[in-house]
Structure 1
Amino acid sequence: MATELSGGAGADSAALALKILVAGGFGVGKTTLVGALSEIRPLRTEEQLSAAGQTVDDTGGVDRKATTTVAMDFGRITIRSGLSLYLFGTPGQDRFWFLWDELAQGALGAVVLADTRRLADSFPAVDYFEHRAIPFVVAVNCFPGARTYGAHEVSSALDLDRGTPVVLCDARDRDSGKEVLVRLVEYAGRMHTARLLNAVSS
């Protein structure tokens, strides 16, 4: 989504708003990342985990998690003058994936948040964006006490396409999260430019 917003009287130019998805497995820190980044009060659709959900939600490694996103998280951050990002956090459980197609419409790109303790949970999101040719970066949320892996090791473990960025981050830290978004916008820009050039030359 690229939307030109009126800057009002005296504005030098129209502002650009881009849509970004924040995806990943259950309990990986998506709601935390959107909340840390958003300059407005984030919209959250969290519900308490219930006994009924224990049969379908794998809470291994995130035993202290008490809530889950059932629709989406939403926030907004200004990267620089004239450029804002609208952040849409996706639900992590399989039974809510029907919402992903709606949320993905018009997205410039996505952040796939990963936890190295549960790296396999990242595969569905990686596959989703690869199959739909939506540019994405993998952001490894460095949880306290978790073993640290290098970007190349994570890229190999997830079998990412060559050139897909992998960055380490702390989802609780606004500056760390902002660096992830900057990398995504830069990468998505290169991908879209390359596609336009290929379309013109073909």
Structure 2
Amino acid sequence: MSEVLQNGAAAPGDDLPEAAKILVAGGFGAGKTTLVSTISEITPFHTEETLTQSGVGVDDLSGVERKEVTTVAMDFGRITVHDRLALFLFGTPGQDRFWFMWDELAAGALCAVVLADTRRLAASFPAVDYFERRGLPFVVAVNCFDGARAYPPETVRRALTLGADVPVLLCDARQRGSVKEVLVRAVEHVLRRETRHAALI
């Protein structure tokens, strides 16, 4: 499957869907909008608004004090992996006052990417908890911000109390190749889960 996604050629006998929906979730300021923009082959759709004084005391800006805009509904982008598979990316809003939209965005999703920021790692817990409750496969991608302390993936796994089967990887949401690897790993994770489930039936 990795070769299919990276080389753009379908192997004989592959039964891939024509389109798959992937959620990109995580805490406020984790880089979700950047990730979607970096990989999208179309002009991405964003619902960003400027942060105003009305958000003071409501939005936690600790660690992201220079952030000036925020997603209030969703981000949307698309990447065609090959002629039989396109990935539609839906970025979720990060602030808890917009979490009521997550159920709508999650409907029909194949899997999710939880984008984590080690400067505000606790902000990743709501997304992790949400996908665990829904039973939706997900990977955790640690966005490596300039100047942020680097931690090995296993340290992040322990901090987020993730199971051994949840992939944790490092990424740079500004780099297309890095984002592509995250999406490859997310789809591979789904296929491995389905293979294990089929073997138990």
1:51 pairs with 46, 50, 53, which one? 53
Partner of 1:5: none
Instruction: Kindly report which structure 2 residues correspond to 1:1-202, keeping only aligned pairs within 5 A, or say none.
Output: 16-198=18-200, 201=201
Equivalent position SS for 1:70: strand
Report how far residue 73 of structure 1 moved: 0.3
CA distance in structure 2 between the aligned counterparts of 1:93 and 1:196, rounded to whole angstroms: 37
CA distance in structure 2 between the aligned counterparts of 1:196 and 1:93, rounded to whole angstroms: 37
CA distance in structure 2 between the aligned counterparts of 1:46 and 1:149, rounded to whole angstroms: 30
CA distance in structure 1 between the aligned counterparts of 2:198 and 2:23, rounded to whole angstroms: 22
CA distance in structure 2 between the aligned counterparts of 1:14 and 1:31, rounded to whole angstroms: 27
Report how far residue 160 of structure 1 moved: 0.3
Structure 1 length-normalised TM: 0.89
Q: Encode CA deviations 1:83-135: one digit per residue, 9 max, x unaligned.
A: 11000000000010000000001100000000001000000000000111100
CA distance in structure 2 between the aligned counterparts of 1:166 and 1:150, rounded to whole angstroms: 9
Change beyond 3 A, Cα 1:14–1:187 = closer
Instruction: For 1:26, give the aligned amino acid.
Output: F
CA RMSD of aligned residues (A): 1.4
Equivalent position SS for 1:71: strand
Aligned residues: 187
Equivalent position SS for 2:73: coil
CA distance in structure 1 between the aligned counterparts of 2:137 and 2:122, rounded to whole angstroms: 20
Instruction: For 2:90, give the aligned amino acid.
Output: F
Moved over 3 A (4+): none
Instruction: For 1:66, give the aligned amino acid.
Output: E
Partner of 2:5: none
Report how far residue 162 of structure 1 moved: 1.8
Instruction: For 2:112, give the aligned amino acid.
Output: A
Q: Encode CA deviations 1:55-97: one digit per residue, 9 max, x unaligned.
A: 1100011111100000000000122332110000000000100
Instruction: For 1:24, give the aligned amino acid.
Output: G
Structure 2 length-normalised TM: 0.90
CA distance in structure 1 between the aligned counterparts of 2:157 and 2:41, rounded to whole angstroms: 31
Gap regions ≥5 residues in structure 2: 1-14
CA distance in structure 2 between the aligned counterparts of 1:37 and 1:14, rounded to whole angstroms: 21
Change beyond 3 A, Cα 1:111–1:63 = same
CA distance in structure 1 between the aligned counterparts of 2:158 and 2:17, rounded to whole angstroms: 38
